[in-house]
Amino acid sequence: MIKEIIVVEGKSDISAVKRAVDAQVIATSGLGLNESILKTIKKASVNRGIIILTDPDYPGKKIRYMLSAEITNCKHAFIPRSKANKDGDIGVENASPEVIREALKNARAEISDTRQEFTNSDMIYYQLVGNDNASKRRATLGDELGIGYCSAKQFLKRINSFGISREELEEAIIIAEEIMRKNNE
């Protein structure tokens, strides 16, 4: 049984999560997130904590942003787009139970202090911005770190706000480079 309450977008996502783990789940009704649902999620965050597990698409990112702007003590779990895709439909409901369990296991809490371990210079140094492969590198690295795919600006924000250490980033880069090399063969 997972202690925290998992927040997803819809009923199909609830079914997928319940097939994967024993947990209480709340749906936001997608972008139809209203004050009543938000109040329920806030209460859950105080009483048990929450893990936000939204679809790896634009509406999912928007819902994640809306929730994290309102709730400070939440964890974030991410499913890679490639593992949540079924016939062009992207969503948590399309992920296998193993992928959902892995995402929840790797859920990360945002750190409230404004620590800036990484800068734009680091993004250039690690080739995560400013070259033809940067987007692909961020996607692969985001999957490896369990923080999902995002723009360069958002990637920098996430590695800082989730408290990722330089050592953790560099280890993940080695693995991500190996994955990318294998995919190009």
Residue that finishes a domain, picked among 110, 134, 160: 110
pLDDT digits 0-9 by tens, 4-35: 999 999 999 999 999 999 999 999 999 999 99
Question: Distances from the Cα of 174 to the Cαs of 77, 113, 168, in angstroms?
Answer: 22, 28, 10
Residue 78 and residue 118 share a domain:
no
How high is the mean pLDDT of the chain? 93
Domain count, the chain: 2
Same domain, 171 and 104: no
Q: Which of 121, 107, 116, 125 is closest to 173 using CA atoms?
A: 125
Residue 113 has pLDDT above 80, yes or no: no
Report whether pLDDT(115) > 70: no
Whether 100 contacts 93, CB under 8 Å: no
Q: Supply φ then ψ for residue 140, to 5 degrees.
A: -65, -45
Residue 4 near residue 50, CB atoms below 8 Å: yes
Q: pTM for the complete prediction?
A: 0.84
Residue found by looking up tokens 């319940």 in the block: 18
The Cα–Cα gap between 70 and 84 comes to: 26
User: Is residue 133 scored above 70 in pLDDT?
Assistant: yes
CB count within 10 Å of CB 56 equals: 25
What domain range includes position 153? 114-185
Reply yes or no on whether the pLDDT at 163 is more than 80: yes
Residue 6 and residue 93 in one domain: yes
Claim to verify: residue 81 and residue 122 sit in the same structural domain: no
Those residues whose C-beta lies under 8 Å from the C-beta of residue 167, and which sit 6 or more positions away, are none
Residue 58 or 116, more confident: 58
Does residue 98 share a domain with residue 10?
A: yes
Same domain assignment for residues 79 and 155? no
* Residue at which a domain ends, from 88, 110, 132: 110
Task: Looking at the structure, tell me whether residues 104 and 34 fall in a common domain.
Answer: yes
CA distance 78 to 17: 13
Domain boundary among 83, 110, 137: 110
pLDDT reading at 114 higher than 80: no
Query: Residue 82 sits in a domain of what CATH number?
Result: 3.40.1360.10
